[in-house]
Homo-oligomer: A and B are copies of this chain.
């Protein structure tokens, strides 16, 4: 298990991470950690490693792009002084290019995406024991689909930035592949973006494997 006892993990991201987490900080009583894969990690990490005393904090915000993360980075990441940080961002950066193609002013281009992600990683990595960068994903098996292709492009940028900053890279898109061989995307997410419990388990499982947790 790569995460040392008593570590604090912050998860920053968009609606896939958010899932009704508490404000202003997604940690505490009454399901404050939300209902996403972060909650699954909270449950199973504590069940399997009760002595580790890990702290998981959900800082996802629905609708965010990487530019929104940048705008709230100080209060929502740095001020929380995490030991480990997990970033999963990009679906909104890409989606708006396809569902609101005419509103180009709200699109986040690959260049801006990479640059911003890189900037955030550079400024934060030195303060962390570990950084985890998760690819954004689109639960669409057809790689020729325009949005899937664009998502793969963004995922590749995450991988590139992760490599530059000694971060653990988690290929969430790849994690969905074996499931999509048995199930149609509709069995995981009607909109191919917001997963049901199966999809969150896929993400959580990929995360557990990446950090070497035996559940």
The answer to whether A47 and B144 have CB atoms under 8 Å apart is no
The answer to whether B187 and A43 have CB atoms under 8 Å apart is no
> Does chain B have a CB within 8 A of A181?
yes
Q: How far is the CA of A5 from the CA of B183 in the complex (A)?
A: 14
Known: A142-B145, A144-B142, A182-B51. A29 touches B197 (CB 8 A): no
> Does chain B have a CB within 8 A of A198?
yes
Residue of B nearest to A197 (CB): B43
The answer to whether B182 and A43 have CB atoms under 8 Å apart is no
The answer to whether A100 and B179 have CB atoms under 8 Å apart is no
Chain A: residues with Cβ within 8 Å of the partner, total of 53
Q: How far is the CA of A102 from the CA of B27 in the complex (A)?
A: 10
Q: How far is the CA of A201 from the CA of B208 in the complex (A)?
A: 14
The answer to whether A179 and B142 have CB atoms under 8 Å apart is no
Q: How far is the CA of A147 from the CA of B184 in the complex (A)?
A: 8
Q: How many copies make up the complex? A: 8
Q: Which interface residue of A42, A100, A178, A201 has the most chain B CB atoms within 10 A?
A: A201
> Does chain B have a CB within 8 A of A186?
yes
Contacts of A99 in B (CB 8 A): 29, 184, 186-187, 190
The answer to whether A184 and B98 have CB atoms under 8 Å apart is yes
Q: Chain B's nearest CB lies how many Å from the CB of A76?
A: 17
> What 0/1 readout, one digit per residue, does chain A (27-52) give for beta carbons within 8 Å of chain B?
11101010100011011101110110
Residues 96 to 126 of chain A near chain B (Cβ within 8 Å): 98-103
Q: What are 15 of the A-B contact pairs (CB < 8 Å)?
A: A8-B102, A40-B201, A43-B200, A46-B179, A46-B198, A47-B202, A48-B205, A50-B179, A50-B181, A55-B102, A98-B187, A99-B186, A99-B187, A101-B183, A101-B184
